[in-house]
Amino acid sequence: MASRTKRATSVQYELEEFAFKARLSVYGLAQERQKAIRKKSLLHRLVFLAKISPELADKRDLAGYWHCLFLSLQHYYQGEGVTGLLLLYPTYVVHTLEASSEVLYSILRDLRDMQPQQHRALVLEPKILVLSHNIPSRLFQKWSYKVLALPSRHLGYDTSREEPIETITGECLAMLLKLGSHLLKYPKSPPNLPDAVLEKVPNLIIPQDTICHLLECPELLSPAQFLQAYDSPLNIVMDSERVWPLPGKVKLDTVSS
């Protein structure tokens, strides 16, 4: 009888231990799922435009500069690297980047700090086209660049279209995303994309006159304007502050006894 009771107790203990381990495994699964969600939420996409400095002799120096900057930031911010596409026009750049927020803000600060040094700046008057937060996955599998063989002279932007800046921005972003989808067909292409890769989709290259127009739009923020708003503290006035302390001194009437 005693042995039977002991065996029953042992079986119950084993069942409870199994249930406890099962609860742990479910909890661990939930934790891993949350980690995956947080990891995805750290991914952002930045697109900025800029003029190429006339002092720059070789446009490929821009690709080398940003490549070295990405390596430095990746060493400082442990994690996945930067992916995207750098399009080098005769006088402009269009740069699409996918990375964590810390990396993208560091790139924006580098652009901001570069501007006061006009004679040493590689790009001038940069503007942020779009900054998308918490994108679900990377569109670009690596970072690459291309020097576009386009004529340096171009017609001015047709202002008679009278399209709002949101529409133009949306069209440009759609072209860049379609271009990224096109690059998925060439996973083994070198960082300096061959001519044949983009020659098949000339309609996905943002026209130079559109870039010139966007750089002149006051609605688009420069890195300095964006970072000033981002780094500024929020001055929130609480309801309690409207009641106490009072702005002036309280005068109490003297009550004679």
What is the dihedral angle through the alpha carbons of 114, 118, 120, 121, rounded to the nearest 10 degrees?
40
How many other C-beta atoms are found inside a 10 Å radius of the C-beta of residue 81?
15
86 within some domain: yes
111 and 33 within one domain? no
57 within some domain: yes
Residue 40's pLDDT is: 44
pTM value > 0.85: no
70 within some domain: yes
Selected residue with higher pLDDT from 161 and 140: 140
Selected residue with higher pLDDT from 68 and 158: 68
* Span of 74-83, 84-93, 187-196 with lowest mean pLDDT: 74-83
78 and 3 within one domain? no
192 and 88 within one domain? yes
In single-letter form, the type of residue at position 13 comes to: Y
Question: What is the phi-psi region of residue 120: left when phi exceeds 0, alpha when psi lies from -120 to 50, beta otherwise?
Answer: alpha
110 and 33 within one domain? no
In single-letter form, the type of residue at position 80 comes to: E
150 and 92 within one domain? yes
64 and 29 within one domain? no
223-231: average pLDDT:
88
Point out which residues pair with 94 in neighbouring strands.
49, 87
From CA 139, how far away is CA 212, in angstroms rounded? Answer: 26
The token pair at 192 is 């300096």
From CA 181, how far away is CA 191, in angstroms rounded? Answer: 16
Point out which residues pair with 144 in neighbouring strands.
85
Cβ distance 226 to 104 under 8 Å?
no
Q: Is the pLDDT of residue 225 over 90?
A: yes
Number of domains in the chain: 2
169 and 121 within one domain? yes
254 within some domain: no
In single-letter form, the type of residue at position 225 comes to: Q
- CATH code: domain of residue 204: 3.30.70.100
17 and 79 within one domain? no
The 10s digit of each residue's pLDDT in 175-201 is 999 999 999 999 999 999 999 999 989
The token pair at 97 is 């980047």
| Strand 143-147 versus strand 83-88 pairing type | parallel
Task: Tell me the residue range of the domain where 21 lies.
Answer: 1-41
In single-letter form, the type of residue at position 228 comes to: Q
The 10s digit of each residue's pLDDT in 240-252 is 555 555 555 555 5
16 and 125 within one domain? no
Confidence of residue 120 (pLDDT cuts 50, 70, 90): confident
Alpha carbon separation from 69 to 56, 224, 241, 256, 257 (Å, rounded): 18, 19, 46, 77, 79
